[in-house]
Structure 1
Amino acid sequence: MKTPSPALACRLEAARSVVRDAARMAMAMRPQPGGPQGELKAAQDWLTETDGAVEAFIAGRMKALFPDDGFEGEEGGVTRTGSLRWVVDPIDGTSNYARGRSRWCVSLGLLEGDEPMAGVIEAPALQEVYTSLRGYGAFLNGKPIQASRVAEPSRAMIEMGWSGRVPKPVFMEKIDAIMELGAMPRSGGCGALALADVASGRLDGYIEIVINLWDVAGALPLLAEAGARVSPFLRDGGLTGGAVIMAANPHIAQTLSDAVRIPLE
């Protein structure tokens, strides 16, 4: 069995440790259930004190560990450049987090140029940790995962993320197409975990019309290693701005792609 390069293996192990500590911090700061606590950046786009604190913690730790690596965060933007670049979403699913709900996560991905290499996604309130290293598998709590084998649309579960940046007619067109297939639509409010659900077979597909790199960086290597098919998010502008993403199990991916008119790689 081949083994990963020591440099990448070291980085994945370090990322796992840093994300674990960051997730503990986020849990300690999590609001009690109830009305949302935080500030609105835009319609339904929440920012909490925890977002900034967790990102600063991760940024500081990764700089100390790998000072030559680049770093990009949702709140702070690109703070360092390098051939290897860490991309963090300190709290993905902030609208859930701000209300004391459980479906949120800390996501950290590693890119080499425009190639996703490794990812760690921890959902501490769910007691789940996803890890992946390109070429060496995808795991949930240490156990290998694969995309589902569902091929019949009437048996499929498809999630679609909502964003205020997407016109309502566009959103409804895609939802209608999903329902016309006979699939069951879902929306959970956390893009990184939805993509992880596709990788683990809990969902058969996920679509979001405008999503950012920090939302997906930790999940892209997970999807690749789990055998899912993904639209060309990075090629189509995801490295520098918002872009569309569709991920699906390989048995239903083309059918879903044709229905919602989002091409696959």
Structure 2
Amino acid sequence: MNQTETALAERSIFAREIAREAGLKALAFFADRAALTIDTKRNAQDAVTMADRQVELLLRERIRARFPGDGLLGEEFGLEEGRSDFTWVMDPIDGTSPFIFGMDSWCVSIAVIERDRPVIGTIYAPVADEMFVADRGGGASLNGAPLRLGGEATVQNGIVGVGASHRIAPGVVGRFVERLLELEGIFIRNGSGALMLAYVAAGRLAAYWEPHMNAWDCLAGLLIVEEAGGWIHDPREWPSLEAGGLVLAGAAGTRGDMLMLAGLVDQPPAGQPCSPS
């Protein structure tokens, strides 16, 4: 194992350790939600809690102590430039609204990027005790069991995850859903884009679309989908890491229709599944 491989292996193991630690800390807050202080950001639907802040501070503290030269980018405290080629991108609680209202669709999401490319992805869902992980070139797994997507899932026979936020005009989401239903598809939104991407990798969802996501919400999940054998819209096409952008991911059989639904092509690429006639 060369120096780079060793560096990646150390960070991969550590990402799983701190994801679990952070998840258990968040779970303690979840069990005592009545005591949480809840603030808002852009509007009443864009909430942040003491739990979000405390869990991200824990992650930052652990990473700084172990890898002091690495950069840090998180939802609550922004970007801290590093000196190494590695940056940790984290969402302490993805799915804050479900978290606040006592639903279990929330998770801790941690990615490590090397220069501009995600190389480690870890998503931990504490309520279900599910750990989704991936290393670039090393495959993906759920609680240690390999994840490998087949070619059977399509927009028509599976469920498409849909994300939305107040950063995007309502009509954009409405038109996507309308076109999806016209293609005889169905959709779900559980409040956590990171977790829905993990569900794509696990074969629970056929695909996922959100017109704009931030890096901390999706980089881990996108890598996990890729390493499970799915396809993604490359986040390196975003204007910048800090800006975020379009997120598309799915099983192989969804690609043609999802690209059409997202408005990236007028018809499915050659050899790709298409909508029913």
TM over 0.5: yes
> CA deviation digits over 1:133-169, x for unaligned, max 9?
0001100010001235335432121011121111111
Q: Give the match's secondary structure for 2:59.
A: helix
Q: Does 1:241 align with 2:240?
A: no
* Residues paired across the two proteins, number: 261
Aligned to 1:140: 142
> CA deviation digits over 1:88-112, x for unaligned, max 9?
1000000111112111001110001
Gaps of 5+ in 2: 269-277
Aligned to 1:61: 62
Q: Is the 8 A contact 2:109 2:123 kept in 1?
A: yes
Aligned pair partner of 1:200 in 192, 198, 202: 202
Q: Is the 8 A contact 1:32 1:99 kept in 2?
A: no
Q: Which whole-Å CA distance do the structure 2 matches of 1:99 and 1:153 have between them?
A: 30
Q: Which whole-Å CA distance do the structure 2 matches of 1:232 and 1:104 have between them?
A: 24
Aligned to 2:76: 75
Gaps of 5+ in 1: none
TM-score scaled by length of structure 2: 0.89
Q: Give the match's secondary structure for 1:18.
A: helix
Quick one: structure 1 residues 200 and 151, their matched pair in 2 at CA, closer, same or farther if it must change by over 3 Å?
Answer: closer
Q: Which whole-Å CA distance do the structure 1 matches of 2:133 and 2:186 have between them?
A: 27
Aligned pair partner of 2:128 in 111, 117, 126: 126
Amino acid at match of 2:125: A
Q: Give the match's secondary structure for 1:85.
A: strand
Q: Which whole-Å CA distance do the structure 2 matches of 1:84 and 1:164 have between them?
A: 31
Q: Is the 8 A contact 2:206 2:254 kept in 1?
A: yes
Quick one: structure 1 residues 31 and 98, their matched pair in 2 at CA, closer, same or farther if it must change by over 3 Å?
Answer: farther
Identical aligned residues as a percent: 33
Superposed counterparts of 1:93-108, under 5 Å: 93-108=95-110
Aligned to 1:8: 8
Q: Which whole-Å CA distance do the structure 1 matches of 2:248 and 2:254 have between them?
A: 12
Q: Does 1:170 align with 2:172?
A: yes
Q: Is the 8 A contact 2:132 2:141 kept in 1?
A: yes
Q: How far has the Cα of 1:251 moved from its partner?
A: 1.3
Aligned to 2:46: 45
Quick one: structure 1 residues 238 and 216, their matched pair in 2 at CA, closer, same or farther if it must change by over 3 Å?
Answer: farther
Q: How far has the Cα of 1:18 moved from its partner?
A: 1.1
Q: Is the 8 A contact 1:150 1:252 kept in 2?
A: no
Q: Which whole-Å CA distance do the structure 1 matches of 2:181 and 2:262 have between them?
A: 11
Aligned pair partner of 1:227 in 216, 226, 229: 229
Q: Is the 8 A contact 2:38 2:50 kept in 1?
A: yes
Q: Give the match's secondary structure for 2:164.
A: coil
Aligned to 1:117: 119
> CA deviation digits over 1:43-77, x for unaligned, max 9?
31110101110111000100110111111111111
Q: Does 1:216 align with 2:226?
A: no
TM-score scaled by length of structure 1: 0.92
> CA deviation digits over 1:166-192, x for unaligned, max 9?
111111111111111111111110000
Q: Which whole-Å CA distance do the structure 2 matches of 1:191 and 1:171 have between them?
A: 14
Q: Is the 8 A contact 1:130 1:138 kept in 2?
A: yes
Q: Is the 8 A contact 1:148 1:198 kept in 2?
A: no
Which segment is superposed worse, 37-46 or 238-247? 37-46
Q: Which whole-Å CA distance do the structure 1 matches of 2:42 and 2:117 have between them?
A: 31
Aligned pair partner of 2:254 in 242, 252, 257: 252
Aligned-residue CA RMSD (Å)? 2.0
Q: Which whole-Å CA distance do the structure 2 matches of 1:152 and 1:110 have between them?
A: 30
> CA deviation digits over 1:190-218, x for unaligned, max 9?
00001111111110110111110000122
Q: Does 1:19 align with 2:23?
A: no
Q: How far has the Cα of 1:237 moved from its partner?
A: 2.5
Q: How far has the Cα of 1:33 moved from its partner?
A: 7.1
